[in-house]
Structure 1
Amino acid sequence: MSLPEEDLTCPVCCDIFADPVLLSCSHSFCRGCLKHCWDTGIRECPVCRKKASKCNPPSNLALKNVCEAVLQVRRLSSVEGEDKVNCILHGEKLKLFCLIDKQPICVVCQSSKLHKTHDCSPIEEALLDCKDELALSLKSLQEKLDNLKRINMTSNTTLTCIKSQALETQKMIKNHFEQLHQILYHEELARLAAVKKEEEEKIAGMKEKIKELSAEVTCLTETIAIIQEQLKEDDMVLLKNFKDTQDRCKSIMLGSENMSRLLIDVTKHLYNLKYRVWEKLLDHVDYTPITLDPNTAHPCLILSDDLTSLHYSKQPSICPDNPERFHMSAEVVAMTALGSGSHHWVVETGSNHDWLLGVASMSVPRNMEISARPENGFWTLCFRDGDLRAMTSPPSLLTVSRTPKQVKVQLDYNKGTVSFFDATDNTLLYAFTHSFTEPLFPYFYTQSSHPLRILPERVLVTMLRQ
């Protein structure tokens, strides 16, 4: 057990004992200090004044060994302290910091070939700069860690949603196939297997994603802990380790932040399902030219089971915050991007008095609210407050004899036109002209509880006989 330093101090010189001797009164003194006191002619203990029985008191060997051990530790600590502040190559004090090699150097190092052409700064300035830079790195890494933790939390919600989507999709597939009875039994099994396979693939992918996120969180946490420890270290230790620490920060590559395309592709399994089996039951086929994509729908939009109608609900549904989804307003797009040719679809607006219909560019932002106008990548017709407007800049009020209950949207991509008709008598309502540069999605918006419905088209089958 180590003794307190005051127990190893001579009462005369107030320093660590040097060759301590022990008097009969049990007090110890340096041999030289005691001799100096006794040279005055009085042979007594300098502390308690008791007369000494011997003129040459014995050495206190145990105390001497302890004191020598303490002095040895002091000498080693002094040498280590000099090593921290002195150059290991030249023995000179480290007064400069090489801005190229990110290392503290002495004035001799600066004159050497290794650093002669390098920019340097005083060690005090460099210390402040390095601390500031590490603080910025720490802040950036902490933000990345917080973001990864947030993504990791939402990933579990996404995983649950994938399972829910898979179950709901399977339920809808069963409903469709029940209408087709035994003739479509084998087709039904095939569709269910496809959903199950995708579910397993998506769940496996999601679990791997969560595993990668956890690994990245661990890596970032360890790096942050190292930086925090470095900031607590001696200044010179911090500077010597600065380059390695910074290299470690820069070497961290985060690849798990992309959360796109993780959900079940519901429309792949459900769109125009009856049409795809028309050869088996033509009388039961309903074909719609476009199908809504539920993975893009705002949480307040309720889509029908067959993904051909939508209406607004004040009670938002619980759904993942995936990048494809519209987050700010009640919007949704169809599944298929249109990049060439001519396309049309008819939307039944019915009693809905708050809607926008048209097309939107693939690149329109989905995490902010912007006007549905051509300069923002939208070509739409709007009905609100009893007025029909073409969403030009500014919007153009349209004069019509009656409010259309069915609106036909016709896109000729190659000619660069988007036209709107009253589907009842095919009267032109408005036509946009634009040179399109990217694919377009059929676009829908509503804040009405009355549905907008994409009407099915008649299917004509021509048999070629040889």
Structure 2
Amino acid sequence: MAAHLGLARLCRLAGRNLCPRPAGRAQEASPAAARCYASGSAGSALQFRLDERTAHSSLDLFKKDTAVIYRMLGLDPSRVQDNPERFRDWAVVFGNEKITGGRHYWEVTVRKSQEFRLGVAEALMSRDDCVGTNASSWVFSYGQRRWSAMTSNKVVPVTLVGKPDRVGILLDYEAGRLALVDTDDPKVIHTIKGRFRGPLCPAFGLWSGELLTHSGLEEPEGLK
């Protein structure tokens, strides 16, 4: 019994929900077709909000769905509206825009969190996975005072970042590049290479504090 309780506590701290899922629940995500798509034209300012339909039960959205806060205990999953778009095991939420091309930039205030992931994921990514652990997601992770780049569960350390209050994310769909950007002195800190084959969504994982997103921004000059 003690071992079981210890495992439950460890997994909860890792952002997992150990409550059993109702029988017959869909195992793969099937996001609704009637959703907004970014035009993908170069220089367009992507605007998005966080999509409550995808948010794990430990995440609460606020500030008109531009911010998210992590609550360790969260809601009983049985009290959250059941739909195949919602993340079931991991504290993840997607943005409500799907990106099919182009170059796009947004920023995230991270000063009130000590453990999070920021990046993009395929809109049809399995809701049983965590962003960064599969070939359908590309993220920058912060935890234990260290930054990493993650995809397919491969972790590459990112150095010379520190803990800024705010960071930028730059996506170049056709070039297959996702970049972490220094917003104080706009420059690319680190780049993840990927092969983007379908619609992507802004993606966020959160296990501490809160994040605030800033979209509708033009890309700073001088970024490559």
Confirm or deny a common fold (TM above 0.5). Answer: yes
Question: Is 1:348 aligned to 2:109, yes or no?
Answer: yes
Match runs of 1:76-91 below 5 Å: none
For 1:354 and 1:435, the matched residues in 2 are separated by: 26
Counterpart contact for 1:339–1:413, Cα < 8 Å: yes
Counterpart contact for 2:46–2:105, Cα < 8 Å: no
Overall identity of the aligned pairs, in %: 26
2:176 aligns with 416
Could you tell me which of 85, 90, 113 is aligned with 1:329? 90
Structure 1 residues 260 and 439: CA distance shift in structure 2, 3 A = closer
For 2:98 and 2:217, the matched residues in 1 are separated by: 23
1:455 aligns with 214
For 2:31 and 2:103, the matched residues in 1 are separated by: 29
Could you tell me which of 41, 47, 50 is aligned with 1:289? 47
For 2:46 and 2:196, the matched residues in 1 are separated by: 24
For 2:73 and 2:183, the matched residues in 1 are separated by: 32
Could you tell me which of 183, 186, 189 is aligned with 1:429? 189
Question: What is the Cα deviation at residue 415 of structure 1?
Answer: 1.6
Question: Is 1:402 aligned to 2:162, yes or no?
Answer: yes
For 1:324 and 1:361, the matched residues in 2 are separated by: 12
Question: What is the Cα deviation at residue 456 of structure 1?
Answer: 5.3
For 1:340 and 1:457, the matched residues in 2 are separated by: 16
How many residue pairs get aligned? The number is 181
Question: What is the Cα deviation at residue 434 of structure 1?
Answer: 2.1
Question: Is 1:300 aligned to 2:61, yes or no?
Answer: no
Counterpart contact for 1:288–1:454, Cα < 8 Å: no
Describe the SS at the equivalent of 1:376: coil
Question: What is the Cα deviation at residue 423 of structure 1?
Answer: 1.3
Superposed CA RMSD in Å reads: 2.9
Q: Deviations over 1:101-143 (max 9, x none)?
A: xxxxxxxxxxxxxxxxxxxxxxxxxxxxxxxxxxxxxxxxxxx
Q: Deviations over 1:215-258 (max 9, x none)?
A: xxxxxxxxxxxxxxxxxxxxxxxxxxxxxxxxxxxxxxxxxxxx
For 2:31 and 2:138, the matched residues in 1 are separated by: 26
Question: Is 1:316 aligned to 2:74, yes or no?
Answer: yes
For 2:130 and 2:186, the matched residues in 1 are separated by: 31
Describe the SS at the equivalent of 2:53: helix
1:203 aligns with none
1:380 aligns with 139
Question: What is the Cα deviation at residue 306 of structure 1?
Answer: 0.5
Relative contact order (alpha carbons < 8 A, sep ≥ 6): 1 or 2 greater?
2
Match for 2:147: what amino acid? L
For 1:442 and 1:401, the matched residues in 2 are separated by: 21
1:195 aligns with none
Counterpart contact for 2:54–2:86, Cα < 8 Å: yes
Question: What is the Cα deviation at residue 357 of structure 1?
Answer: 0.1
Consecutive unaligned residues in structure 2, runs of 5 or more: 1-21, 37-44, 219-224
Structure 1 residues 401 and 330: CA distance shift in structure 2, 3 A = closer
Question: What is the Cα deviation at residue 340 of structure 1?
Answer: 0.9
Question: What is the Cα deviation at residue 407 of structure 1?
Answer: 1.3
Counterpart contact for 2:131–2:203, Cα < 8 Å: no
Counterpart contact for 1:353–1:386, Cα < 8 Å: yes
1:101 aligns with none
Match for 1:291: what amino acid? R
Counterpart contact for 2:31–2:123, Cα < 8 Å: no
For 1:301 and 1:438, the matched residues in 2 are separated by: 26
Question: What is the Cα deviation at residue 291 of structure 1?
Answer: 0.9
Question: What is the Cα deviation at residue 360 of structure 1?
Answer: 0.4
Question: What is the Cα deviation at residue 311 of structure 1?
Answer: 1.1
Consecutive unaligned residues in structure 1, runs of 5 or more: 1-145, 152-258, 269-286, 460-466
Q: Which moved more, 1:428-437 or 1:352-361?
A: 428-437
Describe the SS at the equivalent of 1:391: strand
Question: What is the Cα deviation at residue 288 of structure 1?
Answer: 7.6
For 1:401 and 1:439, the matched residues in 2 are separated by: 29
For 1:456 and 1:371, the matched residues in 2 are separated by: 20
1:108 aligns with none
Q: Which has more strand, going by share of residues? A: 2
For 1:343 and 1:300, the matched residues in 2 are separated by: 29
Structure 1 residues 371 and 402: CA distance shift in structure 2, 3 A = closer
Counterpart contact for 2:60–2:70, Cα < 8 Å: yes
Counterpart contact for 2:139–2:149, Cα < 8 Å: yes
Counterpart contact for 1:288–1:455, Cα < 8 Å: no
For 1:401 and 1:410, the matched residues in 2 are separated by: 16
Task: Give 1 or 2 for the bigger CA radius of gyration.
Answer: 1
1:391 aligns with 150
Counterpart contact for 1:409–1:421, Cα < 8 Å: yes
